[in-house]
Structure 1
Amino acid sequence: MKITKKQKPFNWHFLMPLMLAASLNPLNSSMIATALPKISESLKISAGTATLLVSILYLVSAVAQPTFGKLAEIFGPRKILIIGSGFAACGGLIGGTIHTFISLLIARIFIGLGTSSGYPSAMLIISRRANHLENKTIPGNVLGNLQIASMATSALGLPLGGVLVGLFDWPSIFYINILIAVIILTTTLAWLPADMKTADFNNSQLLKQLDLPGIGLFAATVITLLVWLFNLPTFNLPIFVIMMFCIVSLIIWERHAKVLFFDVKFLWHHQDVVLTLIRILLLSICVYTIMYGVSQWLEATHASSAEVTGLLLLPMSVVSAITIPPIASRNLVRLPLMVATLASLVGSVGLLFFYAQTPLLFIIIVTTGFGIVLGAMSQGSQLALYLQVPVKIMGTASGLLRTFGYIGSIMSSSLINIGFRSEATTSGLHLIAFLMIIVSLIVAVITIFDQSLKQARKRSKA
């Protein structure tokens, strides 16, 4: 049945559970940072051990996002949102009540699984809804709201975590997941339409539909890739060999499997999707290098306090959120990606002029420019993907978009380790800047010669 505009297909009742679900993962990614010192002290573990609570969420999310996207395509995104909220609530309960390091790791795994259902399910629900509109309008503003919600909660995660830890101690950052999960569950049941009827599967058919070997090989590929990246700049040959074996095995399996988890043939014939994924990976390297690398340099070399450093990077988050609405309202694709690429290149060159005596105003201007990169690349890539893939695989594709963003953020830590081998020096920052310039130039070549972006622009205006 077609939906008319008069029926307000994307009203706030419809959007609220989707925005909350899509925001819970980035919220948990940032919120825990302020709790790590208290957790280390309470459990009597080292700071390095405590950071595993951060890494495990990235690792689980990188694998789970496309996996839950695939599950949403098979069973229905509304069901997966409900299941995901249950996982998140369980993680919050375990982490809040059982105070051992192992229990916290398990809690973060549950939270990573639960929160990974949000974004791919939301994208699938929105694309199916838009596909039933009479004129099949591209919901640019709706997609933009998803990005703004994710960025806002990621930025608010640090201060929110600080307030919760200050008032209620560190278990509160786990308990808050129960509250949010209950709100997501309630609003999903009350306001989201039931999933389209799917075929009934018996147990053997269910296993075939899930493509468990494909999911397993994809998980092994991502895990070994991330472990290998964590070890850089040290080249871990055994992990690299295992990673390449997993990649080759995944490609061979998916080329011949009857039911696909990771559609290699689709990607082979749609290089535009591959370029979109590579682009967001490369730009994410530059953005997160600024977030994590420049902050280290400011404290170590520029003699800025942690509080000042946080305030210096705050305009970056604000600008990224401001950048999205004008892009979303006009359904722009190629222009924001070109702007993101140019801003990344200019900002990377700007890092070469960072010295211990550099005025803070200049540092703020350069770092704030990467807010444009973050906002423009996020919304531009999201809309490009929306236009490039069919509705039936929107869940898996959206999950992959998030996965490539995670990989980019982890690769940024490798880039930072190359520059700051022993300490955060100005010469090391300049080496990082040169590497970022190279990455930005690669993105520029990809974007300029990506003819599919011109076609996407025509489709967005149709």
Structure 2
Amino acid sequence: MFLGAILNPINSSIIAVALVPIAAGLGAPASQTAWLVSALYLATAIGQPLFGRLVDTFGPRRLFLVGTALTGIAGFLGVLAPNIGALIVARVVLGFGTCAGYPASMYLIRSEAERTGQKSPAGVLTALAVATQTTIAIGPTIGGLLIGLAGWRATFAVNIPLAAVGLVLGALYLPTEAPTRAAGRRLDYPGIVLFAAALVALLLYLMNASVALLWLLGVAVVAAAGFTVRELRCADPFIDVRVFAGNLPLLATYGRTVCAQIVSYAFIYGFTQWLEDGRGLSASAAGLILLPTFAVGILVSTTTGRRPEIRGKLIVGAMAQVVACALLLIVHAHVAVWFLVGIAIVLGLPQGLNSLANQNALYHQADPARMGASSGLMRTFSYLGAILASAASGSFFGNRADTAGLHELAVFMLVAAVIFAVMAVVDRSLARISRKSTDAVDVSEAASVTS
């Protein structure tokens, strides 16, 4: 489960330090290499809820194996790609292929919890949070090391052995259970198409926002309206919008996810680009500076993961985000490396707290029968935040990632961090979830003592 879950976050961030070498190697301008980032975002934003829905319908095993196989194929396509167009196709395949791991994992964890009666498997959820979110921060470090050893194509080749191991483990250990719904029941294909159309139009506009492309927003609104009407009338909808309309705590979790990922991805992409462009560091050095974010994130996740205080974690993570964004406002082209490492350390706190707390909140808020789709949709909101961060980076940096652009990006990040903090403070439903989790943990520990 964890191997499948890390494939998406690792591949979403590993490309951050590879864009410049790819441009040089294939003779492609920055406007084209930017699509290597956007292509995976688009595929993942659509694919996550789709694969989640398929997991709910057909069970996790077959979707996990199909997705992992696509990931390996994408690795081969990237290694052999003769031009930037072929490389973009490889990233699209990679985006869809890595969509199965997270919803399959959440489905399996929820199913096992229901089977055993353990309502809050905090240890497993902590490990999954580390695998799916904290590992985002190590992507640039891995990418920098791979590029230094074997060139930029190694950032694609690494998926081949990972996929091979995932296929073997998945075939050996994932349960071969029957589909959860009647095999003859049709999927909501019109709903899927309308959802994809609305999302693609919206994300294409966000990636290149301008007056000339306002028509894309119109397409997104029309498709979204059609999607809502379709889902309200469908007996077995792709995404049950009625559930979300009556589940404000879950919608708040999705909103916090967007804000958290704006800060996280703006840091990973924008700060990394500035380290290479504005500070003059190599790709390997830039990746190493982000390593403390990964280390602190893992330390925080593993030490706090079993504690049920979801709201407290979110508030502490929010404050750390605000501090880190404020620190970015005072960096300059000759700032000491130790200060940059300090910022990376501070960012490790929300990296380890926010994703874990939001994931645990979703686990308790989502309808168990739609756990795959709900968790997949959460990843869609994650990549909506990532695309907003990417669009902001492109807007503020322009031709090069200079210090002035970094400061403008930091203001944008600070606004998102403050909104996140306000949402965490005012959401009283989080306290109720924490109390339920505490009761479940107490019962589980009592049962263990009795045994």
Normalization by structure 2: what TM-score?
A: 0.88
Paired residue for 1:13? none
Paired residue for 1:373? 350
Task: Check if 1:180 corresponds to 2:157.
Answer: no
Distance 1:223 1:369, change over 3 A: same
Deviations 1:49-99 (A, max 9, x none): 233223211110111011000000000011211121222233233333453
Paired residue for 1:5? none
CA distance in 2, matches of 1:424, 1:169: 23
Task: Check if 1:403 corresponds to 2:385.
Answer: no
CA distance in 1, matches of 2:49, 2:322: 30
CA distance in 2, matches of 1:416, 1:98: 27
CA distance in 1, matches of 2:277, 2:154: 31
Question: Which has the larger displacement, 251-260 or 291-300?
Answer: 291-300
Identify which of 58, 79, 101 aligns with 1:96.
79
- Give 1:351-430 correspondences, 5 Å limit: 351-356=328-333, 358-421=335-398, 424-430=401-407
CA distance in 2, matches of 1:359, 1:298: 12
Amino acid in structure 2 at the alignment position of 1:90? I
Task: Check if 1:73 corresponds to 2:50.
Answer: no
> Could you tell me the percent identity over the aligned residues?
34
Paired residue for 1:250? 227
Amino acid in structure 1 at the alignment position of 2:234? A
CA distance in 2, matches of 1:237, 1:293: 26
Distance 1:82 1:270, change over 3 A: same
Paired residue for 1:3? none
CA distance in 2, matches of 1:415, 1:101: 23
Which SS does the other structure have where 1:353 is aligned?
A: coil
Shift of 1:440: 2.4
Task: Tell me, yes or no, if the aligned pair for 1:337 and 1:377 is still in contact at 8 Å.
Answer: yes
Shift of 1:256: 1.9
How many residue pairs are counted as aligned between the two chains? 439
Shift of 1:151: 4.7
Paired residue for 1:9? none
Paired residue for 2:94? 111
CA distance in 1, matches of 2:144, 2:323: 34
Distance 1:347 1:45, change over 3 A: closer
Shift of 1:417: 4.0
Question: Which has the larger displacement, 225-234 or 28-37?
Answer: 28-37
Paired residue for 1:329? 306
Shift of 1:419: 3.6
- What residue ranges of structure 2 are gaps of 5+ in the alignment? 440-451
Task: Tell me, yes or no, if the aligned pair for 2:318 and 2:417 is still in contact at 8 Å.
Answer: yes
Task: Tell me, yes or no, if the aligned pair for 1:151 and 1:317 is still in contact at 8 Å.
Answer: no
CA distance in 1, matches of 2:309, 2:177: 30
Identify which of 54, 62, 67 aligns with 1:84.
67
Shift of 1:39: 4.4
Question: Which has the larger displacement, 413-422 or 247-256?
Answer: 413-422
Identify which of 98, 107, 111 aligns with 1:128.
111
Paired residue for 1:148? 130
CA distance in 1, matches of 2:159, 2:271: 31
Which SS does the other structure have where 2:118 is aligned?
A: coil
Shift of 1:174: 3.7
Shift of 1:351: 3.0
Distance 1:441 1:171, change over 3 A: closer
Which SS does the other structure have where 2:236 is aligned?
A: coil
Amino acid in structure 2 at the alignment position of 1:260? P
Paired residue for 1:15? none
Q: CA RMSD in A?
A: 2.6
Shift of 1:386: 0.4
Deviations 1:89-127 (A, max 9, x none): 332333334534443333322222111111111111111
Shift of 1:423: 5.0
Question: Which has the larger displacement, 265-274 or 389-398?
Answer: 389-398
Task: Tell me, yes or no, if the aligned pair for 2:16 and 2:269 is still in contact at 8 Å.
Answer: no
Task: Check if 1:270 corresponds to 2:252.
Answer: no
CA distance in 2, matches of 1:169, 1:287: 26
Distance 1:442 1:34, change over 3 A: closer
Task: Check if 1:219 corresponds to 2:219.
Answer: no
Task: Tell me, yes or no, if the aligned pair for 1:233 and 1:414 is still in contact at 8 Å.
Answer: no
- Give 1:56-67 correspondences, 5 Å limit: 56-67=39-50
Distance 1:287 1:28, change over 3 A: closer
Identify which of 411, 427, 441 aligns with 1:434.
411
CA distance in 2, matches of 1:368, 1:44: 36
CA distance in 1, matches of 2:307, 2:388: 32
CA distance in 1, matches of 2:297, 2:339: 18
Shift of 1:172: 4.5
Shift of 1:164: 4.6
Distance 1:380 1:235, change over 3 A: farther
Which SS does the other structure have where 1:329 is aligned?
A: coil
Task: Tell me, yes or no, if the aligned pair for 2:250 and 2:365 is still in contact at 8 Å.
Answer: yes
Identify which of 194, 209, 214 aligns with 1:237.
214
Shift of 1:414: 2.8
Question: Which has the larger displacement, 381-390 or 39-48?
Answer: 39-48
- Give 1:310-325 correspondences, 5 Å limit: 310-325=287-302
Distance 1:46 1:453, change over 3 A: same
Distance 1:303 1:37, change over 3 A: closer
Amino acid in structure 1 at the alignment position of 2:410? A
Task: Tell me, yes or no, if the aligned pair for 1:93 and 1:178 is still in contact at 8 Å.
Answer: yes
CA distance in 1, matches of 2:129, 2:74: 24
CA distance in 2, matches of 1:106, 1:304: 30
Distance 1:410 1:199, change over 3 A: closer
Normalization by structure 1: what TM-score?
A: 0.86
CA distance in 1, matches of 2:81, 2:338: 46
Which SS does the other structure have where 2:388 is aligned?
A: helix
Question: Which has the larger displacement, 390-399 or 141-150?
Answer: 141-150
CA distance in 2, matches of 1:195, 1:42: 47
Question: Which has the larger displacement, 246-255 or 220-229?
Answer: 246-255
Shift of 1:410: 1.4
Distance 1:354 1:233, change over 3 A: farther
Shift of 1:312: 2.9
CA distance in 2, matches of 1:437, 1:166: 33
Distance 1:438 1:390, change over 3 A: same
* Segments of 4+ moved more than 6 angstroms: none
Which SS does the other structure have where 2:329 is aligned?
A: helix
CA distance in 1, matches of 2:157, 2:101: 19
Amino acid in structure 2 at the alignment position of 1:65? Q
Paired residue for 1:48? 31
Shift of 1:144: 1.3
Amino acid in structure 1 at the alignment position of 2:172? A
